[in-house]
Amino acid sequence: MATPLFDFVIVGGGTAGLVIARRLSEDPSQRILVLEAGSDHTEDPRVNTPAFFHALLGSEADWNFATEPQSNLKGRSIALDQGKALGGSSAINAHVFVPPAKGLIDAWGRLGNEGWSWNTLREYYAKAYTSPSVDEALEKSLGIDGWVSRNDSANGPIKASFSGNSSHPIRAAWAEAFESNGYSMANDPFLNASVGGFSSLASIHPENNERSYAVPAYYTPIKHRENLQVLTNAVVEKILFDDSQLPKAIGVQYTHNKETKTATVAKEVILAAGALQSPKLLELSGIGNAHLLERHGVTVVENLPQVGENLHDHLVCYISYEAFDDVETLDALMRQEPEALGLAMGEYAASRTGMLSSVGVYTYAYMPLIECLSGEGREKLKELLRQNRPPVGTQPDQARAQAYYEVAEKTFLDPKEPSGTYLTAVAQQIPPVEPGSASPAGPVPGKFITFGIMLSHPLSRGSTHIVSDEISVPPTIDPNYLSNPVDLEILARHVQYVETIANSSAFSKLIKQPLRRRDPASDPTDIDQAKNFIRTSAISMWHIGGSCAMLPREKGGVVDTKLRVYGTQNLRVVDSSAIPLISTANLQATVYAFAERAADIIKEEHGLK
């Protein structure tokens, strides 16, 4: 049987892959094949019901990755949940749909990526999602009545909403707390996010309160297109190249229904397998560090040592505070109380409302390091940065480290740029604890409001690489969390500052005063105790990126500004691995926008409709 010929083969039917598939198949003359290793979970209630997303973690819809033991996190291995399903991580994530700060995207350009900035990417956020309509009477309770303008031009496939109970008092309290501190975001953050608190959107459809993700939003409406073929449970083993001097991708080898098959391309192979699988597939295909490839018996096609390097991620800490008894929380669900779960399931089945209609994450804030904006605190931060300045050198990894350091230094010292992200959840969170300590290892009685504190701009960098030439063997993953001392110091200072919000008058009707923490070890009053809490309890937000970074090759890049893999032809990477600097907070919205722009780049290059 002849090997099927396609114009484009997309490796990975996840968040980015389905965006690319939809846009390229708009031209009926193009034949598109999407190969997804996972299954189709379109009818899975765990996917569609917002509060059930926890049931997907560690399931067959999750790759179940884990890091190497992290020396700066007391030797813990950190779980990295990544979607193994049609729709990828958009099928299993916690629905948060927020933009980055404008300055972060502008930093992509300053890293050497000409043509990439907030001004060029903003329209692609608007192309990816639809901003929800809001009744004027609800604006105050939603905490958005102070917004001067909203992103009403957003009219894309993802249907976003202010999820859950629209009258929950936490949104208004959050807006009041940050406004009183002078950090209220004046506009819809999708217009021009900088610093301040805001009510966050969720990728939950406002009409049926089901997950809105890449499958129902991007794929289902166009799955009938005759020029688009999507195969699930199809595992790509390697990219195939010809023997020309500049290797040209000519197809892929994959397994499907226990058969090994090939698909050939007339135009391109587009790698969209995610931050951990895309570098793995490049290496298994002979693109990567020649010494590593030879050690594992892989024939070298192109020596590109930066494949799998520059891996970075957001760490997060959670502090749960006791709430008053009349505050609505999801703690009964966290404890899996049968009566509460039964009532919630009944309400959701009947009206698509109630506790199962959201995960209880309603508010976000992007913040600078307040105590380091002036005086002694600023001088201490400058000294800490000076002490940890990377050495100047001409090697790509040295040039990359220097470029990222300069971006971070500017961010940390600018009062209008965030170095930390805060969020709330209307339920207790259960982070890791010190073995044998008084810290509770499981859910406890009572009601809680949790503050999450995320390191928005990590300087620490790690890597992910193959350890075998077998596709079934997971890669080694070492994010090298907190390896740069600046990261620990900044995260600890943010952990301390968040108590200012918890102690504010705006939260006095929600959180018991004086503050009562679920975990006594989460008291950050002392900076050393805050740091110990981070080492003990910080986990990943699963915002992994940068491992096939869009950067100049001399700065350690893997792809150029058109997302073409250096040293090859007909091969691109379009997913979070190519994002050079991960978003201020959650990556989901940025991956959609990134893929939307990539689709336009590809269509323009090939003269497609």
Residues with catalytic annotation? Answer: 543
Q: For residue 351, what are the CA distances in angstroms to 57, 135, 468?
A: 26, 20, 50
> Pairing mode, if any, of strands 448-455 and 420-425?
antiparallel
Nearest to 106 by CA among 414, 371, 480, 553: 414
The answer to whether 184 touches 146, Cβ cutoff 8 Å, is yes
Nearest to 36 by CA among 215, 300, 248: 215
Give the C-alpha separation, 424 to 498, whole Å. Answer: 11
Give the C-alpha separation, 423 to 455, whole Å. Answer: 12
Give the C-alpha separation, 476 to 592, whole Å. Answer: 27
CB atoms under 10 Å from CB of 544, counted, come to: 28
> Pairing mode, if any, of strands 5-11 and 32-35?
parallel
Nearest to 590 by CA among 82, 102, 71, 240: 102
253: Cβ–Cβ under 8 A, 6 or more apart, which residues?
236, 237, 238, 240, 260, 261, 262
Give the C-alpha separation, 508 to 496, whole Å. Answer: 18
Give the C-alpha separation, 257 to 38, whole Å. Answer: 13
* Chain centroid to CA 559: 20
Q: What does 387-440 look like in DSSP terms, one character per residue?
A: HTPPPP-SSHHHHHHHHHHHHHHHHHT-TTS-SEEEEEESS-------TTSSS-
75: Cβ–Cβ under 8 A, 6 or more apart, which residues?
69
Q: What is the CA radius of gyration of the chain?
A: 23
Give the C-alpha separation, 296 to 73, whole Å. Answer: 30
Give the C-alpha separation, 382 to 75, whole Å. Answer: 30
Give the C-alpha separation, 458 to 483, whole Å. Answer: 10
Give the C-alpha separation, 82 to 546, whole Å. Answer: 15
Q: Backbone dihedral region of 549: left (phi > 0), alpha (psi from -120 to 50 degrees) or beta? A: beta
Cα-Cα-Cα-Cα torsion 329, 332, 338, 339, nearest 10 degrees, comes to -50
275: Cβ–Cβ under 8 A, 6 or more apart, which residues?
82, 311, 464, 544, 545, 546, 547, 575, 576, 577
Partners of 211 in the β-ladder: 204
Q: Say whether 129 sits in a helix, a strand or coil.
A: strand
